[in-house]
Amino acid sequence: MADAMARGIPIIILENPVWHYGDKLATYSWGYNGLNGLGMAPSCTDKESRPHPALGTPRDPKEGVDIIFGQVPDDKALRGKDNDEWIAEELRKRPTAEVRPHPVTIDHRFEEQEPFESVMARCGRAITYSSTVGAEALIRGIETIARHPGSWAYDVQDREEWIKDLSWRHWSTDEEIDVDWILGGYEEALELSRAGYYDNMSNGRD
């Protein structure tokens, strides 16, 4: 990637999906020049929506609890932000909020963690930095605060439009991808690449 960036060449990055249909490894999301919400893709305005989870009815945040979802420390999605630092910042704003550590930070030999679906069932407001949990919460109808524009859930105004766009970013390994549509965004991605626009995926380093 460093070589491509030095020469101003677009990069297509495949990532973990927000949703899948039984086999997470058989589904991926994609984007030009960045991770998640900072990856670019062509417009799909003139296309029908691809398969996606049904959107849940919006919940009243007061009927649940505020939950801060921790992330994997040093994950590139944090773009150099310290995981504990941003959680502490959120707790100063919401002292009564709960914190759910990312499962990989828990030693499950000695500590049990509440099942994810149980957490989501009682969540009234989800607070995340850039985790895909933000998008999962939005799909369920949970009010979501995402702190970084790289989050799929950052500043979403229209969930119907948002889920349609997100459906075009999700593909499975057993389906034929729309190559013409994806390459239809190449020239714009090339222009941005030549101008030096790439998401900072180096944990905050230059």
| Tens-digit pLDDT profile for residues 90-111 | 999 999 999 999 988 888 778 8
Closest CA to 103 of 151, 152, 70: 70
pLDDT of residue 33: 96
Cα 48 to its chain centre, rounded Å, is 22
Please tell me the predicted confidence (pLDDT) of residue 13: 95
Q: What is the mean pLDDT of residues 9-14?
A: 96
Task: Assess whether pLDDT exceeds 80 at residue 206.
Answer: no
Per-residue model confidence (pLDDT) at position 160:
96
- Predicted local confidence at residue 111, as pLDDT: 83
Which residues, 6+ apart, have CB-to-CB distance to 188 below 8 Å?
40, 42
User: Other CB atoms closer than 10 Å to residue 167's CB: what's the count?
Assistant: 19
**Which percentage of the chain shows pLDDT scores above 70?**
100
Strand order in the sheet with 27-32: 12-15, 27-32, 170-172
Q: CA–CA separation, 137 vs 90, rounded Å?
A: 18
Which pTM value belongs to this model? 0.93
Beginning with the edge strand found earlier in the chain, give each strand of the sheet holding 65-69 in spatial order. Answer: 98-100, 65-69, 123-128, 143-146
User: Any idea what the Cα angle at residue 192 is, between residues 182 and 12, rounded to 5°?
Assistant: 40
Residue-wise pLDDT for 166-202, tens only, equals: 999 999 999 999 999 999 999 999 999 999 999 988 8
- Tell me: the pLDDT tens digits for 61-91? 999 999 999 999 989 999 999 999 999 999 9
The answer to whether 202 and 18 have CB atoms below 8 angstroms apart is: no
Tell me, what's the pLDDT at 22? 84
Quick one: pLDDT at residue 204? 77
Give the pLDDT of residue 107.
Answer: 82
Could you please state the CATH topology (level 3) that the domain comprising 61-158 is classified under: Rossmann fold (3.40.50)
Structure tokens that stand for 57 in this block: 């009815």
> Residue 21: pLDDT above 90?
no
Q: Range(s) for CATH 3.40.50 in the chain?
A: 61-158
pLDDT tens digit sequence for 44-58 = 999 999 999 999 999
Q: Do the bridges between strand 27-32 and strand 12-15 make them parallel or antiparallel, or are there none, so unpaired? A: antiparallel
Q: Could you tell me which of 70, 123, 68 has the C-alpha nearest to residue 101?
A: 70
Tokens 């979403």 identify what position?
A: 156
Handedness of CA 184, 179, 8, 162 (dihedral sign): positive
Query: What is the band of 18 on the pLDDT scale with cuts at 50, 70, 90?
Result: very high
